[in-house]
């Protein structure tokens, strides 16, 4: 196990290097000159040229990349081209907020989804099963911004139980908890729906196994059959999907953060791309890539904990 973790961690720099090369190339291939953005679209060419020189944008791409890489290896992600703030400061401001949001949604997801999936499996073919599956299909297909605005309208505007938007503070404060509820729910709804459906089908699969029939024949109560024999064995694919969902939640956070004015990394990345703020784009994407890799590793490790048959060596 330890060997496996070390191997995965050793791969991390290579993955990040690949990501940085890819992002660097893509952002430089997209039309739009950051010097022109800074100078304004109608600035004289000599002004634009002067800014290009200042930023080193006139150098060949490999030279620019090497300069960037050297800086990053020294722990310096550079300064934003537009705001002149250190990129690391911007990311460190935004990152905890995105992590809070993603974690909250990741916690909400199984709490709602698994009971729903189990209940639907237990009532297979009944109206409540069909109803749950229909609602979950809506949850999967509805656009995030529509869900966000719907929740905002009902709970923020009409009932006024939660703030409409904004970051209210860290998760462990009351105002923080209130402010994260709607964005976290919005972010979680798609995952809840997907996971509920998966739990249902995994449960149905397990419940059709011989050992479940045996358990029932032995006179075990139905809830013990469901929870002890059914859910326990159905959980592995669910956990797999939960891991993938965390990655999905991170990407879904871009829209959610924008709608709820949540000052996270997703919003920062969108702004950076639109402004062709190269250092900020590279910094935010690197951090998001790092999160993905770490989350995936964590999920792989959780497998082994849940299913003793899985060994990493």
Residues forming contacts to another protein in the complex (CB under 8 A) are 30-33, 36-44, 46-47, 50-51, 54, 79, 82-85, 90, 93-94, 145-146, 149-150, 152-153, 156-158, 160, 163-167, 258-261, 263, 267-268, 271, 274-276
For another protein, the closer CB: 212 or 278: 278
Minimum gap (Å) between residue 201 Cβ and another protein:
32
The tokens describing 242, both together, are: 């939960």
Minimum gap (Å) between residue 234 Cβ and another protein:
36
Minimum gap (Å) between residue 44 Cβ and another protein:
5
Minimum gap (Å) between residue 16 Cβ and another protein:
24
Q: Are 266 and 158 in contact (CB under 8 A)?
A: no
Q: Are 102 and 288 in contact (CB under 8 A)?
A: no
Residue 75 C-beta-side C-alpha neighbours within 13 Å: 1
For another protein, the closer CB: 53 or 135: 53
For another protein, the closer CB: 156 or 190: 156
For another protein, the closer CB: 83 or 296: 83
283 to each of 23, 94, 277, how far by Cα in Å?
Answer: 10, 12, 10
Minimum gap (Å) between residue 296 Cβ and another protein:
28
The tokens describing 177, both together, are: 């908890």
* 112/238 Cα distance (integer angstroms): 13
* 231/234 Cα distance (integer angstroms): 5
For another protein, the closer CB: 74 or 160: 160
Q: Are 82 and 37 in contact (CB under 8 A)?
A: yes
* 101/93 Cα distance (integer angstroms): 14
36 to each of 46, 47, 57, 147, how far by Cα in Å?
Answer: 11, 9, 11, 37
Minimum gap (Å) between residue 48 Cβ and another protein:
8
Alpha helices in 75-209 (DSSP H): 87-122, 127-141, 144-151, 174-207
* Range 223-237 burial, b when 16+ CB lie within 10 A, else e: eebbeebbbebbbbe
For another protein, the closer CB: 242 or 271: 271
Minimum gap (Å) between residue 89 Cβ and another protein:
8
For another protein, the closer CB: 147 or 299: 147
Q: What is residue 125's three-state secondary structure?
A: coil
How many Cβ atoms are within 10 Å of 199's Cβ, its own excluded?
A: 27
Minimum gap (Å) between residue 231 Cβ and another protein:
37
For another protein, the closer CB: 230 or 264: 264
């Amino acid at each position: 196990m330890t060997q496996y973790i070390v191997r995965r961690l050793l791969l991390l720099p290579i993955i990040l290097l690949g990501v940085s090369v890819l992002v660097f190339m893509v952002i430089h291939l997209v039309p739009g000159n950051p010097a022109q953005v800074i100078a304004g679209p109608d600035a004289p060419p000599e002004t634009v040229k002067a800014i290009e020189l200042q930023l080193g944008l006139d150098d060949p791409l490999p030279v620019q990349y090497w300069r960037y890489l050297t800086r990053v290896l020294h722990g310096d992600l550079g300064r934003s081209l537009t705001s002149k703030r250190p990129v690391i400061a911007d990311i460190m401001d935004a990152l905890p907020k995105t992590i809070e949001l993603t974690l909250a949604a990741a916690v909400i997801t199984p709490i709602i989804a698994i009971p729903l999936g189990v209940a639907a499996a237990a009532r297979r073919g009944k109206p409540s099963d069909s109803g749950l599956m229909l609602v979950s299909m809506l949850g999967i297909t509805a656009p995030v911004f529509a869900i966000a605005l719907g929740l905002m309208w009902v709970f923020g505007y009409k009932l006024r139980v939660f703030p409409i938007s904004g970051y209210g503070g860290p998760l462990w404060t009351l105002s923080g908890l209130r402010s994260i509820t709607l964005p976290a729910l919005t972010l979680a709804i798609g995952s809840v729906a997907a996971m509920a459906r998966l739990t249902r089908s995994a449960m149905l699969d397990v419940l059709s196994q011989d050992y479940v029939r045996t358990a029932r024949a032995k006179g075990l109560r139905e809830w013990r059959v469901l929870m002890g024999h059914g859910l326990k064995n159905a959980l592995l694919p669910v956990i797999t999907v939960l891991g993938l969902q965390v990655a999905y939640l991170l990407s879904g956070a871009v829209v959610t953060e924008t709608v709820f004015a949540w000052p996270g990394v997703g919003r920062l990345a969108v702004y950076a791309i639109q402004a062709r703020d190269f250092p900020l784009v590279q910094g935010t994407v690197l951090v998001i890539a790092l999160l993905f890799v770490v989350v995936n590793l964590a999920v792989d490790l959780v497998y082994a904990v849940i299913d003793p048959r899985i060994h990493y060596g």
